[in-house]
Structure 1
Amino acid sequence: MRNLIFFAFFLIIVLHQSCSPAKRLTENQHLLRRTSINIENTEINREQLRPFVRQQPNRRFLGVVPLGLMVYQFANRERDSRLNSWIRNTLGEEPVIFNQTLLESSRLQMSMYMHGQGYFNASVVAKFDPSNGKARFSIIGNQPYYIRNIGYRIDDSALASFIYADTANALMKSGQRYSAEILDSERQRISDYLRNEGFFRFSREYIRFEIDSALQKHQLDIMVIIGNQALGVSPNLAATTLPDNFHNRYIIDRVNIYPDFSPLTALTSPLDTTFYALSDSADARKLTFIHRERLHINPRVLSQNILIKPGEIFRVRNVEQTYFNLGGLRNFRFINVQFVDLPTLAQDTLPNAPRRLGANIQLARQPSNAFAIEAVGLNTAGMLGIAGNLSFSNRNFLGGAENLSLRLLGALEASASAFG
């Protein structure tokens, strides 16, 4: 057994030498055989940097032999044929020729990543040794920068009160190593928080950071700046000539539900309106069902699954949960929630008064009934037969979006006579 293994390795080495791709390279070409990353004085490990290596050598079988490369070279030596072409392109692996541009690109991306992790003075060196085909990346992190102070600059006083009340949940902390990833996550966290507190039109584009790293002892200060929205201008565009506008909170004023929505007949079919009260009180808020046919699904069931309610502050998580709940009913092939600004009333102009939103929930139903027939051939010990099943499903069995499924199974198989 040992001799067999030795012979196999000997044969692979011989084939490797006879099929060496180096023999086919020009004077200025070199085969990339290995890459290595050496990193010092940093909390970053090499696995975090490996994705930035733009050029990888040919894969090695058992970590030793570039088997795919050998197959490619062997098939490339033979006369061109469909079989050789299939072997070369399917089983083989084209030789990786060292590219100086990709090496430099990898070095720059590693340097940018180190900078984004707080290592502003990191040294990143990349070299290629043509004698052994090895590309080496050497990274020395040096001392990273840490966050000293975090401040906020918010012109909108109403918005500022929400931000300051939530600073305990900030992802950035004093004494923490600077990280561009954490800053980006903080932008998203603030945006999500405000959109769950009624700020319907807020987005992360209004948030930016100013970094002051001109301090001693490798420390920096971060200023979180939240700008006002500009009238009639996208938040990610400059608006130097238009007046600024504070961010408004929004309250859900009305909810219209279209339980049998169809874009083809939405503007032409006559509509009926049904109001569903959310409580038994005389002044209870109501959901408005606007429909063409009779209500196939009980409004109570839909109301329980719709978290967007009149009289409540807009919260994006309620919108997401509504999509999830309605999808879970498995009764609709199309679900869409739209919000529209409602006309401004006198009370809407009072200081800090929320603006009003209308919600339109469009639901396109799937067919209530579905039938399916499946058949399969059987062969048991040479005896042929057929099996099948008939299935029936109803997606609104009792009018409350209940799902009913029935399946009938059957089989027919020939049998040999005992009396032959």
Structure 2
Amino acid sequence: MKKVLYYIILVLIISSCSTVKHVPENEYLLDKVDIHNTARNIPKERFAPYMKQNPNIQIFGMFKFHLWLYNLAGKDTTKGFNKWLQRIGEEPVLYDDFLSGQTMSQLELFMHNKGYYHADVDTVVKYRKKKAKVKYVIEAGKQFVLEHVGYRAEDTTIQRLVEEDLENSILKEGGPFDVSMHDAERERITKYLRDRGYFSFSKEFIYFKADSTLGGNRVVDSVLIKNASAEVAKNRDSSFVHPIYRIHNVYFRTNFDPHRALNEKESYYDQYDTLKYGDFQFMYIDKLKVKPEVLVNSTYITPGQLFQANLVDKTKNLLSSLRLYRFINIRFEEVQGATSTVDGSRLLNCFIQLVPAKFQSYSIDVEGLNSSGNLGAGGNLEYQHKNLFKGAEEFTFNIRGSMQNQLNRQSEQFNTTEFGVESRIIFPKFWMPFQIKKFRQRFNPKTSLSVAYNYQKRPDYTRTIANGKISYLWNSSKRVSHQVTPLGVNFVLIPTVDNDFLQDIEGTFLGYSYQDHLITNTSYSFVYNQQEVEKRKDFLYVNWNLEEAGNFLNLWSSSISKKNPEGYNEILGIRYAQYVQSDIDLRYHHYLNKINSMAYRFYLGVGYPYGNYDVLPFEKRYFSGGANSIRAWPVRGIGPGSYDSQDADYYNQTGDIKLEFNIEYRFKLFWILESALFLDVGNIYTIRKDISPEGGLFEFNNFTSKLAVGTGLGLRFDFKYFIFRLDSGMKLRNPVEEKGHRWIPTNRKYTWDDFAMNFAIGYPF
């Protein structure tokens, strides 16, 4: 271990000394850039976009790894290897006095825009050993503040609307005089008006006048909204007020072909047949492949309503969720010479043009598998129909088989064979005896029906699981989704159990887990997700689940039959489980810069068995260890608590409580290669004293003393479509050891058993 640390330190020293290898004479490597700003209300991160030069990127906050790669290349750049090193590395950033001057100008302009009109920016450069350290010193002075904000529109109707929404104004009296707030206020007013019928209104009609002659760094700000131009008003009156628009007709072009529409023009539209459904018009060629009611329930735009710009994106998103169309375009055309009988407003026709995707597909995959670090191979046949009954019903049928290679405690290999079949259909609505108006538009509801069968064979047992469930899914906002499963049924049968294995677990907390049982459960799931696809920005992810099982079944069974001689009830000759269970998964991703990020995860799960079944069913119990958990231990190789299961042939530790905290520092290396330094903390525990193994019980006064701690280094290969991960974990604290000796580095030498290698697909969290 010491040798490894010495080697790392030596590499860092050598690399730091070689950073100026390719720096020419009379030039300097830009080693560090710092900002000293006297305006404490502006964080340093806000200045980053205005820096014209930044030092070479670093990992671990100190090591210029990519520059080091570049410097490994020899002088002969015609050689392929040298060219490759320079391509994957980063060229040294040389200090440029001209770019430094530009940075000063940009920083000064930024400070002025933030209301610091007396700000002064200076540069201090220190040269040492062909390196330059630059400090930008910003003397901000006092910030100008808004003494008064006034709004005046030439159009009296717009004046009234703007005044009604002043409480949402971004410009606040007593607040800073900030140019960026002007831009935001312009956007806010424009959005507000376009959501109230002003289809042709744009932010160019809004401008500002500021008076700073009051003195004392005070500003009187005026927001002015001009009337419409003659072109927009179309000379209908001399005042050129901004016109208001209502929706006249809504047309669905259901199998729209943009290429034919572009080439054939009007002759293409003449081929459409038309169907009227309620207040909507459906245009199609050949036949209508989707029921009109599905599309009507998937639009927020309806005839007769005022034009609202925000409904366009909401309609696109709702139609996209049907997964029937690969392109959706919504456009508006003014109806010439016509006005609304309601208020005389102008009229718009809305055209929703839908380019269909393929409704049916199938795939045959042969793939490498990973389940908590255990690798194997499998095959998968899947058939999907996205419009089974012409109502956007998504039907999926899947057959899957796999074999995984695992290791027991004696490092002997064994195989786990699995076969499964699953069928599922998702309806784009709730199955309810009554309808709620606009329910789909508000919540994008779905009903899912699924049935599945799974067969698993291991050397110690064979298990089959047959299940079915009905679930309701909906979104209460852009980031929040819900799922309620009012009924789920699981039949778990264990036809064969190895006699030696059965004897080992008989009378232990695992003994009840390998019995035939029935589960009828009700569950709820809540997900909050800030992540945006293909955007590198900080996000929070929360997943909370709550589940109960067996209570209704117990009431029914108790009323029609008595308990058997062993003291529990059965349905169809099978014992049913009773429990309540809840878990929460919190994740936060923080992006430091373009190559460095931090990822945090906290997980807590608790299940309490009672009544008709003494333990949580095996498939509901928690386990720890493996590629997505505490990576210094094998899967199912930790706990519960400080319990030592060395006598067992297979890793099979499970518990009623799971507590984990993970942190990863992730950084990009070169090509498709990424790396991570991680720390994992956690364990599992039992909750009932009467069936808990020694040291496995959760107790508030000492559960932290039973936490396992591991660390390690990982490599990730980003192939865009998937990420292959290799994590090497090392134990730091082992709860199985005696008290006072659980921290390994300070108590004993490391052995091979203290390390674990994990192969996986995808990030751990």
TM normalised by structure 1 equals 0.81
Counterpart of 1:38 in structure 2 is 36
The letter for the 2-side match of 1:106 is T
1:300 aligns with 2:293: yes
Q: Relative to 1, partners in 2 of residues 1:77 and 1:394: Cα closer, same or farther, differing over 3 Å?
A: closer
Counterpart of 1:177 in structure 2 is 176
Counterpart of 2:326 in structure 1 is 333
Pairing of 1:83-162 with structure 2 (within 5 A): 83-91=81-89, 93-131=90-128, 133-162=132-161
Shift of 1:320: 1.5
Structure 2 distance, partners of 1:80, 1:260, is: 55
Shift of 1:199: 0.3
- The alignment partner of 1:275 has SS state of strand
Residue pair 2:70, 2:88 contacting (<8 A) in 1 also: no
The letter for the 2-side match of 1:95 is P
Pairing of 1:399-414 with structure 2 (within 5 A): 399-409=390-400
Structure 2 distance, partners of 1:186, 1:223, is: 12
Of 255, 260, 273, the residue aligned with 1:260 is 255
Q: Which has the higher helix share?
A: 1
Shift of 1:125: 0.7
Shift of 1:88: 4.2
- The alignment partner of 2:288 has SS state of coil
Shift of 1:127: 3.0
Stretch deviating more after TM superposition (116-125 or 47-56): 47-56
Deviations 1:131-174 (A, max 9, x none): 56221211111110000111123111122121111111111110
Pairing of 1:19-418 with structure 2 (within 5 A): 19=18, 21=20, 25-27=24-26, 29-59=27-57, 69=67, 72-73=70-71, 75-76=73-74, 81-91=79-89, 93-131=90-128, 133-232=132-231, 245-263=240-258, 264=260, 267-268=267-268, 270-277=271-278, 286-345=279-338, 353-375=344-366, 388-409=379-400
The letter for the 2-side match of 1:331 is L
Structure 2 distance, partners of 1:128, 1:346, is: 68
- The structure whose RCO (Cα within 8 Å, separation 6+) is larger is 1
Structure 2 distance, partners of 1:232, 1:104, is: 45
Structure 2 distance, partners of 1:291, 1:23, is: 66
Deviations 1:355-402 (A, max 9, x none): 111111112222332232334599xxxxxx995433222221122111
Q: Relative to 1, partners in 2 of residues 1:215 and 1:400: Cα closer, same or farther, differing over 3 Å?
A: same
Structure 2 distance, partners of 1:358, 1:70, is: 62
Structure 1 distance, partners of 2:303, 2:153, is: 30
Q: Relative to 1, partners in 2 of residues 1:194 and 1:12: Cα closer, same or farther, differing over 3 Å?
A: closer
Q: Relative to 1, partners in 2 of residues 1:409 and 1:160: Cα closer, same or farther, differing over 3 Å?
A: same
Residue pair 1:76, 1:88 contacting (<8 A) in 2 also: no
- The alignment partner of 1:188 has SS state of helix
- The alignment partner of 2:297 has SS state of helix
Shift of 1:98: 1.4
Counterpart of 1:415 in structure 2 is none
Counterpart of 1:237 in structure 2 is none
The letter for the 2-side match of 1:273 is T
- The alignment partner of 2:336 has SS state of coil
Q: Relative to 1, partners in 2 of residues 1:94 and 1:293: Cα closer, same or farther, differing over 3 Å?
A: closer
Note the residue ranges of structure 1 that are not aligned, 5 or more in a row. 235-242, 278-285, 379-384, 413-420
Structure 2 distance, partners of 1:65, 1:401, is: 54
- The alignment partner of 1:125 has SS state of strand
Q: Relative to 1, partners in 2 of residues 1:142 and 1:371: Cα closer, same or farther, differing over 3 Å?
A: same
- The alignment partner of 1:343 has SS state of strand
Structure 1 distance, partners of 2:7, 2:267, is: 80
Question: Alpha carbon RMSD of aligned pairs, Å?
Answer: 3.4
Deviations 1:333-357 (A, max 9, x none): 2211111110224767x9x731111
Shift of 1:77: 5.3
Deviations 1:76-107 (A, max 9, x none): 4579633334334434x433221011101111
Shift of 1:316: 1.1
- The alignment partner of 2:392 has SS state of coil
Shift of 1:291: 2.0
Shift of 1:211: 1.5
Aligned residues: 387
Q: Relative to 1, partners in 2 of residues 1:88 and 1:336: Cα closer, same or farther, differing over 3 Å?
A: closer
Note the residue ranges of structure 2 that are not aligned, 5 or more in a row. 370-375, 404-765
Structure 2 distance, partners of 1:407, 1:311, is: 46
Structure 2 distance, partners of 1:12, 1:290, is: 68
Q: Which has the higher strand share?
A: 2
Q: Relative to 1, partners in 2 of residues 1:24 and 1:361: Cα closer, same or farther, differing over 3 Å?
A: closer
